[in-house]
Amino acid sequence: MKNILFVASEAVPFVKTGGLADVVGSLPRCFDKAYFDVRVIVPKYMCIPEDWRGRMTYLDHFYMDYLGQSRYVGIMQCVYEGITYYFIDNESYFWGNRPYGDWLFDLEKFTFFCQAALSALPVIGFRPHVVHCHDWQTGLIPVYLKDRFRGGDFYADMKSVITVHNLKFQGVWDVATIQRLSGLSAYYFTPDKLEAYKNGNLLKGGIVFADAVTTVSETYAKEIQMPFYGEGLDGLMRARANSLRGIVNGIDYEEFSPATDQYIAKHFDARTFRKEKPANKRALQQELGLDVDERKMMIGMVSRLTDQKGLDLIAWVMDALCNDDIQLVVLGTGEERYENMFRHFDWKYQHKVSANIYYSEALSHKIYAACDAYLMPSLFEPCGLSQLIALRYGSIPIVRETGGLKDTVQPYNEFESTGTGFSFCNYNADEMLHTIREAERIYYDKKREWNKMVDRAMAKDYSWHVSALKYQELYDWLVGW
């Protein structure tokens, strides 16, 4: 039996700000329990909902020297869907109404968390063969395993993996501050270790000292070795290329299932979508005040409204797009200029564009189920989950070939009748518009071909079980048995 410990700053269902929480909450359930004992350790934030905190049981506590003071470290436990979750409790660090806030305070609290998580392992009696760390918040753990936790039998031969979910966020501050918070000697603050461009960098420490590095798609693993995507660490990524692998994230196939989805008007599956999926479109058109016409092509977007998501391309061609025979439904919040841009076009093309500038879980499911095509022209996308959900619901993705979008959406080939979506290569608005119009042409003029593409899209398996098998291979390789 291999013992695996996930260490992260968030996990569903307890606390979530982004896709990281989905990975940490969903992936551990999918490992083969005959061979892997996977457990999770996260901070016990005060902002975790009361009903979840009420389910936690007190396990133990100890005091740890940190920044010259003796600090309380409580350990709480909760078993959820067969997985044991541990929570590090210290109210002076984990108070507040959200997990992250002040950058400098975040650096201190997650440095404390890294030390506390490793120090708690002998107390709870769980000795992992592999500690799987996620993003900069746990970047110090691989460093500590090679430093202060190196001696003694308990931590001997303990391997570490760090997964980079988005290289943009690195945990950077000046060297003196990072050195004081981490308690590491000056030996570690050189350009080949934790120092980067004269600052301290927690994520860099994790990447340098981890036994293996993963990221959330094969293409993103290649992209971050180039200056444009490398966020200043492309040289390090090239140096670690032999230890770096990309494993695409999955989605929860129970939560996102058009056959059982509680939010949608009419259930359907791969056999019945031709007959039942249009009912979802009609229901959404009616709800949003669009022209009710099931034959009209509907394009959906559920997204943060930011530059990263390619919205400047959409702004550039929006008038031209709205003159086509389509409807566009948008859901999300973000930068004010994009929120107002979509509001403007909603006002200008009232029966063709619906801008919903808020977030609603129910509406997001309805959009995935109702739309014919799903637009994701991202500048960069480490993995992306929306296109996986769209495939699951038979909504054909139109994507830019970057990161996880390139890995998960096979471009349509009209001559071979293959592919699960449409894609364009260059970050260019006219190229995107041309690709959207190509999708419109197939939708209106070759409906049988379009339906065959939906068949192929819904047959794809991007569940967590596929990702788990690849992580199992990685753990086997690291441990050597």
- According to DSSP, the β-strands at 297-302 and 326-331 are parallel
DSSP 410: P
What class is the 273-460 domain? alpha beta
The torsion angle over the Cα atoms of residues 213, 219, 222 and 223, rounded to 10 degrees, is: -110
Q: Tens of pLDDT along 428-444?
A: 999 999 999 999 999 99
Q: Tell me the average pLDDT of the chain.
A: 96
- Residue 453's contacts (CB-CB under 8 Å, 6 or more residues apart) are 396, 412, 419, 420, 421, 442
Task: Mark residue 68 as left, alpha or beta (left: phi above 0; alpha: psi -120 to 50; beta: remaining).
Answer: left
Mean pLDDT of 339-368: 96
Mean pLDDT of 63-76: 97
Using DSSP's 3-state secondary structure scheme, residue 322 falls into: helix
> What would you measure as the largest C-alpha separation in the chain, in angstroms?
72
For residue 323, which of 299, 352, 301 has the smallest C-alpha distance? Answer: 352
Q: Tens of pLDDT along 189-204?
A: 999 999 999 999 999 9
Domains 2-250+465-479 and 273-460 share a fold: yes
- According to DSSP, the β-strands at 130-134 and 159-164 are parallel
Domain segments of the chain as ranges: 2-250+465-479, 273-460
The model's confidence at residue 152, banded by pLDDT at 50, 70 and 90, is confident
CATH 3.40.50.300 fits 2-250+465-479, yes or no: no
The phi and psi torsions of 212 (rounded to 5 degrees) equal: -150, 150
Query: Token pair 């129910």 is at which residue?
Result: 362
Mean pLDDT of 400-420: 97
pLDDT higher than 90, residue 62: yes
Give the model's pLDDT for residue 59. Answer: 97
Distance CA 84, CA 75 (A): 12
DSSP 395: P
pLDDT higher than 90, residue 42: yes
Q: Check: CB of residue 254 under 8 Å from CB of residue 29.
A: no
Task: Mark residue 157 as left, alpha or beta (left: phi above 0; alpha: psi -120 to 50; beta: remaining).
Answer: left
Q: Check: CB of residue 464 under 8 Å from CB of residue 251.
A: yes
Distance CA 185, CA 205 (A): 13
What are 349's two structure tokens?
């093309």
The model's confidence at residue 18, banded by pLDDT at 50, 70 and 90, is confident
DSSP 81: T
Q: Tens of pLDDT along 240-252?
A: 999 999 999 999 9
